[in-house]
Structure 1
C-alpha cells in the first residue's frame, strides 16, 4: 500500500491543476491516470480564451498553441455568416487552439515539477473508507495496488465513477449531456482561416457544429447534439455536416473523437467526507458553449487549494470541505446560470428565426463583443429574447 495526503484521479487539465496547487500548498500528492499517455485520445475542440489562460497565470507556448484565433464566424442554417474579427471589433474572448495531447502533458509536468508523483496506466477500481481516510484500489501496470489518502480529488470525467463511490449524484439527465463527435481533418478550406467557426440550427439539434482552425489546412470539425431531440447519432450528424459544408467537402479525417459533454451547470453537491469532484466530473463546463478547459482548471485550482488546507487542518470532513462548493459557485456557478438561460433561448429558436437574427447581426458594428451587448441586440430583434434573457444581463 502507498500512502499520501491527496490522491488526484485523472490527469486532464483540471486534475493536473488541482495536483499542482495542492503540492504548491504543501501537501503530498499522487496523480493517477488510466491512460498510458496523458492527453491521448483528446475529447475536445481544443479552444481556450486568452483571458482564461491569463487568469490561471499560464504563459502560452508555441509547443502547445497550434493557432491564434483572431475572430469568430457564426453561420445560420441558410449560410448567412456573422463575422466578428479583431479588425472590426475588440475581442476580449478571442483565444488559442491548443494541441491537447501536448498541453495536457505540459500541465501534468507542471504538477510533477510542483512535487506531485504521477502514475500513468493506473486505473481506479474501487474505494473504501478506513477510519478517517480512504483507500483506493487500483490496477497499476496490470498489478493490484492500494493507495491510502486523506483526500481524494475526483477528476475522472463526466458522470464521475469516483464521485459515485463517495455517494455523490454524478449521473446526468440526458438533456444535460451533449453527445459529441469530431474529426481532425486535413484539406479544410475555411472562408476565414483565422476565425473559429460555429454553425447553428438543425445541423446539430440541441447544440452546434464547429470548425476550429489549427494552422495550414488542418482543423477540428465537430458537433454536439442532444439525443433527446434527434434520432440520429452525433457521428451521423457529423458525416452529414462534413458532406454539406463547403469548407470540408474535400477534406480528409485523420482522427475521430467521440464523447459526452456535461452542459447542465455545476453539480449541486461536489464534496463528501474525504472527497472533492472537479472539472468535467463536477460539470464545470460552460452550458452555452460546451467549453470546459479553462473553467475546469479554475475549479481544479480551487480543489487543490481547499484540499491542501484541509490536510493542514487535519480535518477531511464534508463540513470542512464545503468551502469548495461556495468558492466554485462564486467563480463559475453564477455565470453558468446565465449561460443556461441563454442556451434554453437558443434551443427555442427555429432555423428561420436563426436566419433572421443572423441577417440583423450581419452588418452590425460592435465596439466590443460581449454577452451583454449581444443580448441587448437580440432583445431588439426577438421577443423571445426579451422574455427569456431580458432580466439576466
Structure 2
C-alpha cells in the first residue's frame, strides 16, 4: 500500500493546479489520471482569459498558445452580427486560444516540479473511508494496488464518480448538462480570425454554437445542446451547422470531440470529511459560455492550499475543509451565479427576439453607450425581452 497526504484524482487543469498548490504548501501529493496522455483527448473549445491566467500566476507561453483573441462576434438566428471587443466589454473567454494537449501537460509538469508524484494510465475503481482518511483501489496496466490518503481531491470531470463514492452528491441534473460536440477543422473561412464567434437560436437548442480560431484557417467548431430541448444529438446538430455556416461549409474536420458540459452552477456542498471536489466535477463552469478552465483552476488552487493547511493542522474534517467551500463561493461563485442568470435569460428569448436585439445593437459602439441608452434600445426593440431580463435580477 502506498501512503500519501493528498491524492488528486484527475490531471486536468483543475486537478494539476490542486496538486501543485498542495505540494507547494508542504503536503505529500500523488496525482493520478486514467488516460495514457494527459490532455488528450481534449473536450474543450480551448479559450481562456488573460486576466484569469494572471490571477493564477501563470505566464503565457507560446508553446501552448495558438491564437490571441481580440474580440467576439455574436450571431443571431437570422445571421445578424454584433461585434464586441475586449476594450469595450467584459469577454469571459477572450484572451487566448490554447493547445490543450500541450497546456494540460505543462500544468501537470508544474505540479511535478512543485513536488507531486504523477501516475498516468491509473484508474481509481473504488474507495473506503477510514478514521484518518481513505483507502483508494486503483488499477494501472492490469495491476491492482491501493493508496491510503488523508485527503482526496476529486477532479475527475463532469461524470465524477469519486465524490459519489464518498457520499457527496454533486451530480448535475439532466436539464443542466449540455451535450457538446466539436470538430477541429481546417479550411475555415472566418470574417476575422482574431475573434471568437457564438451562434444562437435553433442551430443549438438550449445552448449555442461556436467557432474558436486556432490559426489562419484552423478552428474549433462546436456546439452544445440540452437534451430537454431537442430530439437530435449534439453531433447531428453539429453536422447541420457545419454544412450551413458560411465559415465552415468548405472546411474539413481533423478531430472530433464529444462530451458533457455542466452549466447549472456550483452545488452548495463541495466537501465532506477528507474530500474536496474541484473543476467540472464541482460545476465550476461559466454557465453562459460553458468555459471552465480558469474557474476550475481557481477552485483547484484554493483546494490545494486548504488541503496543505489541513494536513499541517492534522484536521481533515469537513468542518475544516469548508474553508475551501467558503473561498470558492466568494471567489468564483458570484460570477457563476451572475452568468447563470444571463444564460436563463438567453434561453427565455425566442429566435425573433434574439434577431430584434441583434438588429438594434449591430452598429452600436459599446464603449459609448450608457446603461440608460441600453435599456431604451431594449424597450424599443423588444419590451417583452426587457421584462424577462428584469425578472431575473
TM-score, normalisation: structure 2: 0.95
**Distance in 2 between the 1:368 and 1:33 partners?**
49
1:3 equivalent in structure 2:
3
> What is the correspondence of 1:249-264 to structure 2 with a 5 Å cutoff?
249-264=249-264
- Taking a change above 3 Å as real, the CA distance of residues 259 and 375 of structure 1, as seen in their structure-2 partners, is farther
1:387 equivalent in structure 2:
387
> What is the correspondence of 1:300-315 to structure 2 with a 5 Å cutoff?
300-315=300-315
Tell me, what secondary structure is at the counterpart of 1:60?
A: coil
Contact 1:159-1:170 within 8 A present in 2 as well: no
> What is the correspondence of 1:1-393 to structure 2 with a 5 Å cutoff?
1-85=1-85, 89=88, 93=92, 94-367=94-367, 376=375, 379-380=378-379, 381-390=381-390
Tell me, what secondary structure is at the counterpart of 2:112?
A: helix
**Distance in 1 between the 2:287 and 2:237 partners?**
21
Summarize deviations over 1:163-204 as a string: whole Å, max 9, x none. 000101122211110000000000101111111000000100
Paired residue total: 391
Tell me, what secondary structure is at the counterpart of 1:322?
A: helix
Tell me, what secondary structure is at the counterpart of 1:229?
A: coil
**Distance in 2 between the 1:214 and 1:270 partners?**
34
**Distance in 1 between the 2:132 and 2:388 partners?**
47
Deviation at 1:133, TM superposition (A): 1.4
Tell me, what secondary structure is at the counterpart of 2:366?
A: coil
Gaps of 5+ in 1: none
**Distance in 2 between the 1:146 and 1:369 partners?**
60
Tell me, what secondary structure is at the counterpart of 2:31?
A: strand
Deviation at 1:319, TM superposition (A): 1.1
Greater mean alpha carbon deviation, residues 336-345 or residues 198-207: 336-345
Deviation at 1:132, TM superposition (A): 1.6
Greater mean alpha carbon deviation, residues 332-341 or residues 72-81: 332-341
How big is the alpha-carbon RMSD for the aligned residues of Structure 1 and Structure 2? 2.0
**Distance in 1 between the 2:305 and 2:196 partners?**
34
Contact 1:71-1:91 within 8 A present in 2 as well: no
- Taking a change above 3 Å as real, the CA distance of residues 349 and 388 of structure 1, as seen in their structure-2 partners, is closer
Deviation at 1:376, TM superposition (A): 5.0
Summarize deviations over 1:330-380 as a string: whole Å, max 9, x none. 01112222211111111111111111011111000111899x899757754
**Distance in 2 between the 1:369 and 1:212 partners?**
27
Contact 2:360-2:377 within 8 A present in 1 as well: no
**Distance in 1 between the 2:146 and 2:372 partners?**
53
**Distance in 1 between the 2:214 and 2:373 partners?**
27
Summarize deviations over 1:36-72 as a string: whole Å, max 9, x none. 0000000000000111111111111110000001110
- Taking a change above 3 Å as real, the CA distance of residues 376 and 5 of structure 1, as seen in their structure-2 partners, is farther
Gaps of 5+ in 2: none
Contact 1:338-1:392 within 8 A present in 2 as well: no
Deviation at 1:324, TM superposition (A): 1.2
- Taking a change above 3 Å as real, the CA distance of residues 90 and 273 of structure 1, as seen in their structure-2 partners, is closer
- Taking a change above 3 Å as real, the CA distance of residues 52 and 246 of structure 1, as seen in their structure-2 partners, is same
Contact 1:72-1:197 within 8 A present in 2 as well: yes
